[in-house]
Structure 1
């Protein structure tokens, strides 16, 4: 993937010890981390993945021939600024992503129709807030005002079966602020602050620990039947200084397919690890 240079105001944060985490609601945090699957497994630090082209039996949780996976291009990690380490390497205790955030967004799969508003570039806070129910946007906006992200990038697309996919990446000044957003959205024991066009969300019990990646925490949910005009799947991932929100929604009475959603989450997490 081509590497776009960082904007002048978005210079990489110098490495420094992680600042003290802001106060959080202890019971809620305990529930969140208890409910979340602990992350294990090992990811190499090379720049090339090739996971999108692996045999289905090689991809965690996706093991059946003809399982409906989408045809993503082969993925590779973007180049880093000179002398800057990977986010979870020994030389980066603050878990900072120094790569251009736009280059860490998952590309759209083959056959996708791009979203004209979510093109893989920077987006405004207002554009991100549109992911939430109208009555909840003011409260989420206040969270982002209190602890503003350094950048928000997003990409969206629609597949031939009508499934709409959106991936948002928010990078903060520290892991404390990224983790604080997950807490303040009440994500963990529940899906948290409701997204737009969602009804009752529940844990996706088909997401197992074999899908997790070391150093990342994912919270994966699906809309429970009966649902409204569309079926929604959503996931938050906490990756050091960065939070990912991944949404699949399919209009009509058919559920958004589980396999391509899990595939999307896994591949996006690979890029953030």
Structure 2
């Protein structure tokens, strides 16, 4: 029996590397829907038991694409544009979360985004966004029962090159970029092992080192085609901000952008 054509090499790489996601193809209107499984325990270092501190997220699925629109990393999409509604690509809040009234999963302005950074750097960030090709920003935030605050921002530009340009202009990757609000210093998170879970994306993950005072801040950036994601978590108290749910959240948001 003749075999069908081999899948593209990019697809083969994705299947080999996406240990936390599975693509489920099915008709959904004029587009295609994709399902995502929950994160495996081995995707975050140090997970061994059921009570490991991870959050209980709902089942995830990528929204259907508009008719005749390609996925961001397909051969017919050289600018790597996400054609799905950006708001539908935001990670939903987990069970037990109290949703931030300012960050309900809709559009926000640049002022809301820049408020995550130290006051002295906000003007420069805003100037970079205005001078670039930023299209819009979607955001969602919540607070967990243990006091951990989570904020996710998705910034969509006109192309992958423009998203890369913003990253480079703000020195993200070579350093932690602009100073975060409430954290005078950020260091590379050397415990991060989720950077190769989704093909064709890049992640840059940082945490505030001790002594971090009354609140510890963790921040992670994902570059995925035309979109830059920022995930920020913080919690007051000497115990700091838990690492496991931060890594879990960043991995799942990365998958939704893949």
Same structural fold, with TM-score higher than 0.5 when normalized by the shorter chain: yes
For the pair 1:49 / 2:57, whether they are aligned, the reply is no
Report the equivalent of 1:4: none
Q: Please give the alpha-carbon distance, in whole angstroms, between the structure 1 residues aligned to 2:46 and 2:35.
A: 17
TM-score by length of 1: 0.81
- Bigger relative CO (Cα 8 Å, ≥ 6 apart): 1
Report the equivalent of 1:223: 208
Go from structure 1 to structure 2 and tell me whether the alpha carbon gap of 1:248 and 1:158 turns closer, same or farther (over 3 Å shift). same
Q: CA RMSD in A?
A: 1.7
TM-score by length of 2: 0.85
Name stretches of at least 5 consecutive residues in structure 2 with no aligned partner. Answer: 1-15, 25-32
For the pair 1:64 / 2:48, whether they are aligned, the reply is yes
Offset at residue 60 of structure 1 (A): 4.9
Moved over 6 A (4+): none
Q: 5 Å matches for 1:48-127? A: 48-52=34-38, 56-57=41-42, 59-61=43-45, 63-65=47-49, 66-127=51-112
Kept in 2: contact 1:60–1:211 (CA 8 A)? no
Q: Please give the alpha-carbon distance, in whole angstroms, between the structure 2 residues aligned to 1:186 and 1:141.
A: 15
Offset at residue 45 of structure 1 (A): 4.4
Instruction: Indicate the SS of the match to 1:121.
Output: strand
Go from structure 1 to structure 2 and tell me whether the alpha carbon gap of 1:111 and 1:142 turns closer, same or farther (over 3 Å shift). same
Q: Please give the alpha-carbon distance, in whole angstroms, between the structure 2 residues aligned to 1:253 and 1:269.
A: 29
Q: 5 Å matches for 1:113-152? A: 113-152=98-137
Kept in 2: contact 1:61–1:211 (CA 8 A)? no
* Greater percentage in strand: 2
Instruction: Indicate the SS of the match to 1:117.
Output: strand
